[in-house]
Amino acid sequence: MSVSNSFRLGSPDVFPPAERHVYLDAASVGLSHKGGAEAISKWQNALAEEGTIAFDEQAEVECLDNLNAATASLFNATVDDIAIASSETVLMQSLAWAVMPESGSRIIATDITHPSTIYPWMRVSDHTGAQVHWIRADDSQTIDPDELEASIDDSTSVVCLSQCEYGTGQQYDLKRFADKAHRHGAILVVDATQSAGQVPVDACSGVDAVATSTYKWLCGPFGTGMMYVSPALQQLNPGILGWRSHKDMWDFQADRLELANNAKRYEFGTMAYGTAFGATESVRHLLETGIENVAAHNAQVSKHLIAGLQDLGAEVLGPKDDANRSATVAVRFPGKNSRDFAKTLKDANVIASLRRDFIRFSPHYYNNIDDIDQGLKAIKAAL
Ligand SMILES: Cc1ncc(COP(=O)(O)O)c(C=O)c1O
């Protein structure tokens, strides 16, 4: 599908700042869905004005239901399989303590994964005596998927992957690694913070758990995270417990705890509930747009960016083939200090991120080809 250079799939009515900046930073913080941001303010203002008159106990029970349903659609799962809390990190932490990989077993992770994907598992391993086995990236920051697959064996308890790497956008085939993990009695746990909203995240691929925050590719707020957990993992004892973990959260009887008999047992406490209203709006918008359409649009924009950067002599990191990439593009400019260069770009209103020693561009569905051409022009001038 070829579209005009000015076409933004995520409309400027919903993402007005997309027309004011060359905003290529979804992997850091995505532009917020306008209606989502308004929903959060509305809730906060009503709470400030009226307290429990505006937000009573019934509302506190029901406030996550719409986000739960939207997340189930997003992950191709059922509502019973979804838990909501304040971030990917807390949900992954709770899961890691539930799974408690046994002494001597191996947790497979890449050395370019995000700290929040693997630190929870490292902490639990310190306690149980499990070990992290690192798959090392090559000089272009690429993981060899064959090496990753071959490393999964009978000693593996957990394969812990970010579906898209935060730095380079390298994308993994979840079914391939879920199948291999299961053949060896292991589980596949996935951090979708860099994938949910830009590429399909399919619970039916066999993944055992998927956790995400909402403020990147889902264009939602800080302060909300969602997790899919398989029926088997819904039987475990979560690592973080609180009053919301009880199947009737208004039970309030401290000397007994009956966990919810679905994924909700991984919810645990009061959160900034209004953020869930915002996240619901932004996830619904992505679902209405169609994640496949978003992925196709972003691939086209990202490909144009890569070609333009290569023409300017940049070294593009990550996989060479499109099939293993997402929209994120990480580059080094020979002879340039990435830190200084990222600042120069920001001054030219081209918004990207410095990560380690490279610059990361992450266009999303509110971007168009004209943005990329404008960004490339600024880069050329700065070089
Ligand atoms: C893959 C991945 N996981 C997790 C996080 C952050 O987690 P949290 O929102 O829980 O702080 C990031 C942020 O950059 C990320 O890229």
Q: What is the mean pLDDT of residues 188-209?
A: 98
Express as a percent the part of the chain with pLDDT over 70: 99
Are 185 and 333 within one domain? no
Helix axes 34-50, 273-289, angle to 10 degrees: 160
Query: Cα angle vertex 206, ends 201, 209, to 5°?
Result: 65
The CA-atom distances, in angstroms, between 204 and each of 209, 229, 309 are: 11, 12, 37
Q: What is the mean pLDDT of residues 294-306?
A: 98
Q: Where does the pLDDT of residue 2 fall: very low under 50, low under 70, confident under 90, or very high at 90 and above?
A: low
Residue 149, domain extent: 41-288
pLDDT score at 301: 98
Nearest CA, atom 16, ligand 1: 166
- pLDDT (tens digit, 9 = 90+) per residue, 228-254? 999 999 999 999 999 999 999 998 899
Ligand 1: which residues within 6 Å by Cβ? 87-89, 114, 116-117, 162, 166, 191, 193-194, 213
CATH number at residue 275: 3.40.640.10
Are 162 and 251 within one domain? yes
In a domain, 198, yes or no: yes
Are 279 and 303 within one domain? no
Q: Which of 288, 312, 329 is the last residue of a domain?
A: 288
- pLDDT (tens digit, 9 = 90+) per residue, 34-75? 999 999 999 999 999 999 999 999 999 899 999 999 999 999
In a domain, 10, yes or no: no
Residue 187 alpha carbon to ligand 1 centre in Å: 21
Are 130 and 234 within one domain? yes
In a domain, 36, yes or no: no
Q: In this structure, how many other beta carbons lie within 10 angstroms of the beta carbon of residue 310? A: 12
In a domain, 295, yes or no: yes
Are 248 and 327 within one domain? no
| Closest-lying ligand 1 atom to the alpha carbon of residue 28 | 14
Are 276 and 298 within one domain? no
- pLDDT (tens digit, 9 = 90+) per residue, 310-363? 999 999 999 999 999 999 999 999 999 999 989 999 999 999 999 999 999 999
Are 305 and 245 within one domain? no
Please answer whether residues 354 and 339 qualify as being in contact, where contact means their C-beta atoms are separated by less than 8 angstroms.
yes
pLDDT score at 61: 87
Q: What is the mean pLDDT of residues 125-141?
A: 98
In a domain, 35, yes or no: no
Q: What is the mean pLDDT of residues 257-280?
A: 97
Average pLDDT, the chain: 97
Are 221 and 338 within one domain? no
In a domain, 3, yes or no: no
Q: What is the mean pLDDT of residues 257-281?
A: 97
Which helix (H) or strand (E) segment is 354 a member of?
A: strand 353-355
Q: Which of 288, 316, 334 is the last residue of a domain?
A: 288
pLDDT of residue 31 exceeding 80 = yes
In a domain, 283, yes or no: yes
Q: What is the dihedral of CA 322, 199, 363, 29, to 10 degrees?
A: -140
Are 228 and 296 within one domain? no
Are 309 and 258 within one domain? no
d(CA 196, CA 213): 9
pLDDT of residue 164 exceeding 90 = yes
In a domain, 1, yes or no: no
Are 113 and 49 within one domain? yes
d(CA 354, CA 330): 9
Which helix (H) or strand (E) segment is 330 a member of?
A: strand 329-332
- Which pTM was predicted? 0.97
CATH number at residue 333: 3.90.1150.10
pLDDT score at 367: 98
- Taking 3-state DSSP, the helix, strand and coil percentages for the chain, each rounded to the nearest 5, stand at 45, 15, 40
Q: What is the mean pLDDT of residues 103-129?
A: 98
Q: What is the mean pLDDT of residues 105-119?
A: 98
Are 268 and 343 within one domain? no
Residue 381 alpha carbon to ligand 1 centre in Å: 33
pLDDT of residue 200 exceeding 80 = yes
Residue 204 alpha carbon to ligand 1 centre in Å: 23
Q: What domain count does the chain have?
A: 2
pLDDT of residue 3 exceeding 80 = no
Q: Which of 264, 288, 312 is the last residue of a domain?
A: 288
| Closest-lying ligand 1 atom to the alpha carbon of residue 222 | 9
